Amino acid sequence: MVALTFDDGPYVYTPALLDVLANNNVKATFFVVGDNGGKGQIQDPSTGYPAIIRRMVAEGHMVGSHTWGHQDLATLTAEQRRDQILLNEIALVDILGFFPTYMRPPYTSWNADTLRELGELGYHVFNYDIDTRDWAGDYGYAQSVYTSILSQNSPASSSWISLEHDIQEQTVSWFAQYLIDQARSLGYQLVTLGECLGDPPVNWYRDPLTGEPYGASSVYASNTSASSSVPQPSSSSSTSSSSASEPYISPAATGSTSSLSVEPTPTPVPNVNFGAGTSPKDKPGYSKIGSSLSTTTAAPAAPTSKPADAPLRSDAARITKSTSGLLAVLCCFALILQH
């Protein structure tokens, strides 16, 4: 399997990328930034970004956090890091009524404190293992590295997370189609990051009031007569809660703290031995049979407008849930099968 992931959006090119994905029946993952490089804040209706993000979810793509301002988390104070996470959460709740479980730190840069704090906030933290470096504009290199890695490995025994950026015009205008065509020609299935890991869609987002997996939230489970603008959980989602699991922070996780004058190549994260019962795939609701999910749960539908009564989870609720071990911090390399 190949999970195409796009960082730094949304942007003016993103709707065209969504068209490409729709035309090819491909689901991807978007790590969105709240306010990056002066391109406008994602919750500002005048930018068109709220509608783009709602479209992502409505069309089955996965949305994760890439922080509010695309700052290197390893260089910030604990308070500044928390602000970067919470501001993006608030914006996404404002748009969707729920917020992501998955995130990718800008520049894939972190340190031990960053991982610990993100774990306390209930995030699954992901790197990547194919960097096309499309941001550099050398698409000859981008094609070469992508095709080389996929062709030298077997789709029957390997899965890959590929990094691109939907703020790059050429990535949208032709390179995305190249990525799709090459992967399929080599026998790979194109999936979201969650599907690549065998994580049911009901776990991809969280309730803003409780921090629980969104589809398992009792806040919305009984809201059958609510406005269609409020996302509704899957009827089978109650079996997918992972709240009983202990948090896991990888002791082997490392990140690059190199100069940010260019996008750095991340420090490889070695595979982690999770031990019996601690792998995400051992948690309730996580089950993967071959390349297919064993559940039929669906991601929440995106609202067409901001939910009028969408609550924001409080710090007290956040702390309670984090200390009870709601969710784990993961590194993607620990779950990618490379033989």
User: Which positions are annotated as active-site residues?
Assistant: 7, 165
Contact (CB, 8 A) for 240 and 213: yes
The token pair that represents 102 in the structure block: 């998955």
Concatenated DSSP letters for 48-87? THHHHHHHHHHTT-EEEE--SS---GGGS-HHHHHHHHHH
Quickly tell me which residue has 């050429």 as its tokens.
Answer: 170
Cα within 13 Å of Cα(118), Cβ side: 32
* Distance (Å, whole) CA 22 – CA 132: 22
Neighbours of 132 (CB within 10 A): 26
Helix (H) or strand (E) holding 327: none
3-state secondary structure 148-172: HHHHCCCCCCECEEEEEECCCHHHH
> Closest Cα partner for 25 from 239, 191, 211, 161?
191
What Cα–Cα distance (Å) separates residue 37 from each residue in 8, 145, 167, 175, 283? 9, 28, 11, 23, 39
Neighbours of 177 (CB within 10 A): 15
* Distance (Å, whole) CA 17 – CA 26: 11
Instruction: Decide: helix, strand or coil at residue 317.
Output: helix
